[in-house]
Structure 1
Amino acid sequence: MASHAIGIDLGTTHSCVGVYQFGKVEIIANDHGFKTTPSCVAFNDDEQLVGHPATYQASDNAANTIYDMKRLIGRRYNDESVQSDIKNWPFNVISDDGFPKVTINTNGTETTFTPEDISAMVLRKMKSTAEAYLESSVDKAVITVPAYFTDYQRQATLEAGRMAGLNVMRILNEPTAAAIAYAVIKEDMRGTVLIYDLGGGTLDISIVNVTDTHCVVKATHGNTHLGGEDFSNNILEYMIGICKNKYKKDISNNKRAIVRLRQQCEDAKIKLSFTQQVKVCVDCLIDGIDFNETITRPKFNELNLNVFKSTLEPVKEALRCAQIDKSDVNKVIMVGGSSRIPKLKNLLQQFFDGKEIHTSINPDEAIAYGASIYAAVCSGVNIRDRSNLIIQDIIPMSLGIGTEENFETYSVVIKKNATIPSSSVKQFYTLHDNQTAVAFPVYEGEATNTKENIFLGKFTINGVPAAPKGQEKFDVTFSIDINGVLKVTARNLSTGNEAGIITDRKF
């Protein structure tokens, strides 16, 4: 029997898996009966726990309970966002050759894991959940990532998939997955569609032209470090302040107390989407003190208003990149768990002058739903008698080479929003007289100065004939595969010597 192809939404806070069969998508419940699984892994002296069991014991095992790996994967340790997050996490994050790793301690032994390791454990859980439901093996998958993920982050996600025993057929942008879901389910979801995807840790905006047979992404923008976790953190900081001022206790360095209070703050955030006020209660929070406070929806909105408003900036940028006005958008779709927040929906609707905001597909499941459809498409399955459903995505950021003295000037080879797969060639020259080796540092970003962009790696061509500067020429080719992963090669035209890289984290 042929193996099924599944779709996985690997989320910051929760993950979701689905499969397309018998003409429909089934979002698969885990062994606890839930259709979303916490992206959380815990370690104790006896076993490793993934999903709900990991969260149930978090307050008693805070330092060994790992979550939010989507905020670490593919990043460098000294990234500003990483340093900011470390302050809020009860587990330990260290630097290993400039990249972050988490450490746990069980049975008196310290063990280190990469973000890919932890993500692979979550993906294995998604894989086993699907296998239990399908009663057969699963090895093929489409895994979604934020549209604004960097090349590093895509590579790292691919690696996590491979570590989980999956043949990753595609890495699919999350808002594109949502567009696929709506395009297949909703016959009226045609024209220029804007997808606003706000999850636990990331925000993505994509503008997609949708027809009966095509989903063509025209522009994308976003923030890979903005989401529901930030809203929960703002409530947590507010409650820590109350604890300090009212109860005269500073819990900021008490890991167990922080984890227990954080859980209640996250619960309050969710409930405030459906009610006007919520109690935040923690028995014996610290030194026998029972913490009991109320937070209202207006207070929640006040604490997060600036962050809420900031989510509209990527919307404006995506419209600018697509070279359209907001009045040209036919449909607006909100997906992701954080899209349930009434104030966010209200702000988005106001921005689009009262246009209806579509949320009819479960926001927690829409990404996995679209990924499952695309997994079927990649496996050659006709979707509802459509043999030619074509998905055309784009790259989120420009790609290029550092040039001039000290490689400070950024020369773009492939521009942002180029269709994938894509390839482009640009010619470069030696910068110095009698130069016999030429280095090619590769960057990703939009700034003219390389220092403000993301360094992806470097390679060198040796054996260049000594000649006056500018005489030796090199054709540099940037190729992006269907997953948006980059390969760069350079060829010395006078000798034919070549060198290159497929960008990964091993430079």
Structure 2
Amino acid sequence: MTSYAIGIDLGTTHSCVGIYQFDKVEIIANDHGSRTTPSCVAFTDEKVFVGEPAMDIALYDPENTIYDMKRLIGRRYADESVQSDIKTWPFNVISDNGFPKVTINTNGTKQIFKPEDISAMMLRKIKITAETYLESSVEKAVITVPAYFTDYQRQATLEAAKMADLDVLRIVNEPTAAALAYAVIKEDMRGTVLVYDLGGGTLDISIITITDTHCVFVKGTHGNTHLGGEDFSNNILEYMIGICKNKYKKDIRNNKRAIARLRHQCENAKKKLSFADEVTIFIDCLIDGTDFKETLTSAKFNDLNYDAFKSTLEPVKKVLKSAQIDKYDVDKIIMVGGSSRIPKLKNLLQQFFDGKEVHTSINPDEAIAYGASIYAAICNGVNIRDKSNIIIEDITPMSLGIQIKDEMFSVIIKKNASIPCSFVKRHRTAHDNQTVAAFLVYEGESANVRGNNFLGKFRIHGIPPGPEGQEEFDVIFSIDINGVLKVSAINLSTGIDGSIIIDRNF
């Protein structure tokens, strides 16, 4: 019996799945005939809906329709980005021991879900879509994540996949998957390649070397896990809310159903403006029997999002600096992700690179799933078009280390280190007569841990008391092929050790 391995792009707003077979990738259409599925789950008194039906339910029951979980997964409730998003979501988000969870009400009963639970429902839907197409069970998958996802977010994604009964062969960064797709499909896609990946909720920029033997080596990555098409749609929404108040004398901000209907039309308008000069937003009986009608031009859309569009170039500048590459040394530019269709963004990127061609020949909505499907086949032992020597080498998106005295950050694995990898660094006791050593793990680039992401902690007890600096520890950081971190330490005088695999349960 054939053992299939699928490639999944688990997106903020839409998800996509593919399979490599018969020497090509097939992007698999869902039961509605769509090659992408909305990353949306709706709860009714009768059942749970995923994808297109959930989007329809959002128009009349927005409080029980959940989306954007990629913006919530692996984060803390107090995160600035979470607090910002909560203000725009119609569904309820609560704090549970510092972690965000969503609540829904059906049949008079309140239910609470982790972001991973919702993502798992999406993955189950995708799994069923693939199984229906292949007429066979599917257990193995490669799943993509933003290159700038934290270790915490990667672990949470793996947890969601496990809940969906998927064996994850690899977690691969989205720009790397896109580069692999182009490396295999486009024979001239060689040299130093910049991948600009802008989806519904995240922006990733990677510098990648593609060799003549189709090998993919990541040299640098930067991004923003809270910038994408959703933000552009929200800017239109805010503008239209103002139009409704000033032109029609109706304040709809606290009417969740009206907001959901208007949001839906703003999203459609954004998509249409990728190929039209203007679009009319019309909603019958938006509120209190009042019809809403307003024309939005591409010029106004660009004006509303000017700051957001310009901000997408900052990670481009940072990744070039990080990879120590001049913009003139970039041979090829690839744009992927649904938001890369916005003409102004392509124009800004071309201007930055002095008119260099931007490649979008693989469907931007499907390119990442395309590459993930090829990677899944490689991991599953399939020979890709006689290119059996393909190598994919990724990197750590952020530096990793521990807190030392005075809240300083001691880096153990530097940003852009190739993975998998393992590094050891020696540390000593920070105080006199210390009998317990706490190891607090962080990721980031700030010299002070307060500016970095806290990942987890563990302790070693039973240290012989003595003067500061007498007792020594070897601290070992290891990152596996999926970018998941394990930290351990050993007291050299006693042999006592401790460790942690960074997850949500420290």
TM-score in terms of structure 2 length: 0.99
- Distance, in Å, in 2 between the alignment partners of 1:98 and 1:2 is 44
Deviation at residue 86 of structure 1 after TM alignment: 0.3
Q: Secondary structure at the match of 1:15?
A: strand
**Residue 104 of structure 2 aligns with which residue?**
104
**Residue 49 of structure 2 aligns with which residue?**
49
The runs of at least 4 aligned residues of structure 1 exceeding 4 Å deviation read none
- Matched to 2:206, the amino acid is S
Q: Secondary structure at the match of 2:165?
A: coil
Q: Which moved more, 1:347-356 or 1:205-214?
A: 205-214
- Distance, in Å, in 2 between the alignment partners of 1:133 and 1:213 is 29
Mapped contact 2:244–2:251 kept (Cα < 8 A): yes
Q: Secondary structure at the match of 2:187?
A: coil
**Residue 314 of structure 1 aligns with which residue?**
315
- Distance, in Å, in 2 between the alignment partners of 1:114 and 1:187 is 43
> Identity percentage over the alignment?
76
The alignment status of 1:217 with 2:249, answered yes or no, reads no
Mapped contact 2:184–2:214 kept (Cα < 8 A): no
- Distance, in Å, in 1 between the alignment partners of 2:423 and 2:82 is 33
1:410-464: per-residue Cα shift (whole Å, max 9, x none)?
1100000000001100011101111100000000100011111100011000000
**Residue 269 of structure 1 aligns with which residue?**
270
**Residue 260 of structure 2 aligns with which residue?**
259
1:268-287 residue pairs with structure 2 within 5 A?
Answer: 268-287=269-288
**Residue 471 of structure 1 aligns with which residue?**
470
**Residue 246 of structure 1 aligns with which residue?**
247
**Residue 334 of structure 1 aligns with which residue?**
335
- Distance, in Å, in 2 between the alignment partners of 1:214 and 1:57 is 45
- Distance, in Å, in 2 between the alignment partners of 1:61 and 1:254 is 12
Q: Secondary structure at the match of 2:59?
A: helix
**Residue 154 of structure 1 aligns with which residue?**
154
- Matched to 2:455, the amino acid is L
**Residue 452 of structure 2 aligns with which residue?**
453
Q: Secondary structure at the match of 2:402?
A: strand
- Matched to 2:414, the amino acid is K
- Distance, in Å, in 1 between the alignment partners of 2:126 and 2:284 is 34
**Residue 369 of structure 2 aligns with which residue?**
368
**Residue 416 of structure 1 aligns with which residue?**
415
Q: Secondary structure at the match of 1:60?
A: coil
- Matched to 1:454, the amino acid is N
1:175-214 residue pairs with structure 2 within 5 A?
Answer: 175-211=175-211, 212-214=213-215
**Residue 83 of structure 2 aligns with which residue?**
83
Q: Unpaired runs of 5+ in structure 1? A: none
- Distance, in Å, in 1 between the alignment partners of 2:403 and 2:30 is 47
- Distance, in Å, in 2 between the alignment partners of 1:482 and 1:305 is 38
Deviation at residue 3 of structure 1 after TM alignment: 2.0
- Matched to 1:484, the amino acid is G
- Matched to 2:152, the amino acid is Y
- Distance, in Å, in 2 between the alignment partners of 1:387 and 1:265 is 46
Deviation at residue 213 of structure 1 after TM alignment: 3.3
Mapped contact 2:284–2:291 kept (Cα < 8 A): yes
- Distance, in Å, in 2 between the alignment partners of 1:321 and 1:495 is 40
- Distance, in Å, in 2 between the alignment partners of 1:57 and 1:392 is 42
**Residue 432 of structure 1 aligns with which residue?**
431
Q: Secondary structure at the match of 2:193?
A: strand
Q: Unpaired runs of 5+ in structure 2? A: none
Q: Secondary structure at the match of 1:138?
A: coil
- Distance, in Å, in 2 between the alignment partners of 1:370 and 1:432 is 51
- Distance, in Å, in 2 between the alignment partners of 1:342 and 1:432 is 59
